[in-house]
Amino acid sequence: MALIFEWIERKLIARIQWRVGPLLTGFKGVLQPFYDFAKLLLKEEVEIEGMNTYLADFSIILYVLSSVLGLLFIPLFVSTSLYSFNEDFIVVPLTFALSAVAQTLMGLSIQSSFTVVGTGRLVVQYAMYESLLLITLALPFMQCNTLSMSDIVKVQSRYPILLVQPLGFVVALIALLAKLEKPPFDLPHAKQEIAAGWMTEYCCRRLAFIQLGKDLEMVYGVALITTVFLGGGQGPMTYDFPWLYPIYFIVKMIIVLLLLVILQGMAVRVREVFMPQRLWERGIIMLVIQAFILFILKDVGLI
């Protein structure tokens, strides 16, 4: 699923750039990400002098698992996820922190100039997007007076929270781009400046799993936004036909992905010094307005 999402993303971004994108492997190149993954797996592992291999391997596993852990608590197939508990929103900041720690450790397990600069940028970026992303995600939960993922899905059976919190949704998308290190926030691995940034020294199997981790992170982020703002797989007729739930969920995820790709396609990478300005000056103001509207609506008793 993660790899198919990568294919959809690559295909869409190619369409925006007047290219064709992956074409040859499988139907319209759908197997290309699988092929890339397998090819990297088969390559001979290069041990770089000075690399802390245990730390690198551990952090890569942690990185992949952090997104998987997050996905476990998202109601993907029915409106209650398998491992759900009453306050399972608490897991979200944990997974964000875990993946950031894993990335930092990966960058620092071999200290070359590029990885050091890249990791420095990564940490700064994490400090900036995390607060934004968590606040945007917290607002819907405040609206519903709950901390549970399944509750927030059930609440949205009438209408999605997007209708009440459009500004929050926009900020969440932008902060998600920063989390996924996609343009315009691809500073930690801006190839024109610092080669591949924190993952410069990785190749082969390790790189394959880093790529997989990135794809999983994207799926997790998109699924989270879909659940919180678009009501998960809730839609017409889901009460009578529960098998519609995952279908709706995937369709909604693809719509969110499309929005992300359009944002990416238009993006010019921000200069490092503009990061706080871009993310905070605009993001925080939008969030304050959003919170204000929300509390007024709540006071009046409309929601």
# binding residues, another protein (CB under 8 A): 28
CB nearer another protein, residue 43 or residue 191: 191
Cα gap 176→181, rounded to integer Å = 8
Phi and psi of 2, rounded to 5°? -60, -40
Which of 43-51, 111-119, 155-163, 217-225 is the region at the interface with another protein (rule: CB under 8 A)?
Answer: 111-119
CB nearer another protein, residue 17 or residue 86: 17
Residues 6+ away with beta carbon under 8 Å from 271: none
Which residue has tokens 């990185």?
63
Local structure of residue 29 (DSSP, 8 states): G
Whole-number minimum distance, CB 129 to another protein, in Å?
A: 17
CB nearer another protein, residue 225 or residue 286: 286
Told to check if 114 binds another protein by CB under 8 A, we report: yes
Contact between residue 134 and residue 89 where contact means Cβ atoms under 8 Å apart: no
Instruction: Compute CA distances 151 → 10, 88, 188, 252, whole Å.
Output: 34, 10, 36, 19
For another protein, the binding residue among 39, 43, 271, 282 (CB under 8 A) is 271
Cα gap 262→44, rounded to integer Å = 37
For another protein, the binding residue among 267, 291, 293, 297 (CB under 8 A) is 267
CB nearer another protein, residue 145 or residue 192: 192
CA nearest 177: which of 218, 136, 139, 211?
A: 218
Cα gap 138→236, rounded to integer Å = 26
Told to check if 44 binds another protein by CB under 8 A, we report: no
Which of 73-81, 179-187, 208-216, 293-301 is the region at the interface with another protein (rule: CB under 8 A)?
Answer: 179-187
CB nearer another protein, residue 171 or residue 294: 171
Told to check if 237 binds another protein by CB under 8 A, we report: no
For another protein, the binding residue among 116, 134, 254, 291 (CB under 8 A) is 116
Contact between residue 220 and residue 149 where contact means Cβ atoms under 8 Å apart: no
Told to check if 258 binds another protein by CB under 8 A, we report: no
CB nearer another protein, residue 112 or residue 146: 112
148 SS3 class: coil
Told to check if 117 binds another protein by CB under 8 A, we report: yes
Instruction: Compute CA distances 238 → 22, 157, 161, whole Å.
Output: 35, 9, 18
Summarize as ranges the residues that interact with another protein (CB under 8 A). 16-19, 113-114, 116-117, 183-184, 186-187, 190-195, 265-274
